[in-house]
Amino acid sequence: MILRFVSKEGQFRLTAQPDSTFPELLAQIAEKLPKSVDLQSVTVSNRPQGGDARKISELKGVSFKQVGLT
Protein backbone atom coordinates (compact mmCIF):
# COMPACT_ATOMS: atom_id res chain seq x y z
CA MET A 1 0.00 0.00 0.00
CA ILE A 2 1.04 3.59 -0.53
CA LEU A 3 0.77 6.02 2.38
CA ARG A 4 0.74 9.78 1.83
CA PHE A 5 2.34 12.10 4.36
CA VAL A 6 2.01 15.87 4.59
CA SER A 7 4.49 18.02 6.49
CA LYS A 8 5.56 21.64 6.61
CA GLU A 9 8.29 20.67 4.12
CA GLY A 10 5.79 19.26 1.62
CA GLN A 11 4.21 15.92 0.75
CA PHE A 12 5.78 12.52 0.28
CA ARG A 13 4.67 8.93 -0.14
CA LEU A 14 5.96 5.69 1.33
CA THR A 15 5.20 2.09 0.47
CA ALA A 16 4.24 -0.26 3.32
CA GLN A 17 2.77 -3.70 3.82
CA PRO A 18 -0.58 -4.05 5.66
CA ASP A 19 1.14 -6.03 8.44
CA SER A 20 3.77 -3.31 8.99
CA THR A 21 3.50 -1.28 12.17
CA PHE A 22 3.58 2.49 12.38
CA PRO A 23 6.94 2.72 14.22
CA GLU A 24 8.56 0.52 11.55
CA LEU A 25 8.20 3.43 9.13
CA LEU A 26 10.03 5.98 11.30
CA ALA A 27 13.38 5.40 9.56
CA GLN A 28 11.81 5.96 6.13
CA ILE A 29 9.97 9.04 7.40
CA ALA A 30 13.19 10.43 8.88
CA GLU A 31 14.85 10.26 5.45
CA LYS A 32 12.19 12.60 4.05
CA LEU A 33 12.30 15.21 6.83
CA PRO A 34 14.98 17.69 7.90
CA LYS A 35 17.57 16.32 10.35
CA SER A 36 16.35 18.80 12.99
CA VAL A 37 12.92 17.12 13.33
CA ASP A 38 12.33 15.30 16.62
CA LEU A 39 10.98 11.91 15.47
CA GLN A 40 9.20 11.47 18.79
CA SER A 41 6.97 14.41 17.82
CA VAL A 42 5.81 12.89 14.49
CA THR A 43 2.06 12.25 14.49
CA VAL A 44 -0.34 10.50 12.13
CA SER A 45 -3.96 11.42 11.60
CA ASN A 46 -6.96 9.99 9.82
CA ARG A 47 -7.55 13.40 8.19
CA PRO A 48 -5.12 16.15 7.15
CA GLN A 49 -6.89 18.85 9.19
CA GLY A 50 -8.47 18.22 12.58
CA GLY A 51 -8.40 14.45 12.51
CA ASP A 52 -7.59 12.09 15.35
CA ALA A 53 -3.81 12.68 15.56
CA ARG A 54 -1.58 10.29 17.52
CA LYS A 55 2.17 10.10 17.94
CA ILE A 56 3.74 7.29 15.94
CA SER A 57 5.90 6.39 18.94
CA GLU A 58 2.70 5.58 20.88
CA LEU A 59 1.50 3.11 18.22
CA LYS A 60 3.98 0.31 18.94
CA GLY A 61 2.62 -2.99 17.72
CA VAL A 62 -0.28 -1.38 15.83
CA SER A 63 -0.38 -2.45 12.17
CA PHE A 64 -1.95 -0.59 9.28
CA LYS A 65 -4.39 -3.46 8.81
CA GLN A 66 -5.57 -3.09 12.44
CA VAL A 67 -6.65 0.50 11.82
CA GLY A 68 -8.41 -0.34 8.57
CA LEU A 69 -5.77 0.75 6.04
CA THR A 70 -5.44 -1.57 3.07
Annotated domain spans of the chain = 2-58
pLDDT band, residue 5 (cuts 50/70/90): confident
pTM: 0.72
- Please state the separation of Cα 1 from the chain's center in Å: 13
* Rounded distance between C-alpha atoms, residue 13 and residue 29, angstroms: 9
- pLDDT, tens digit (0-9, with 9 covering 90-100), for 53-65: 888 888 889 998 8
Q: How far is CA 35 from CA 22, 28, 70, in A?
A: 20, 13, 30
Mean pLDDT of 13-18: 92
- pLDDT, tens digit (0-9, with 9 covering 90-100), for 18-70: 999 988 888 898 898 889 989 888 888 877 676 788 888 888 899 988 887 77
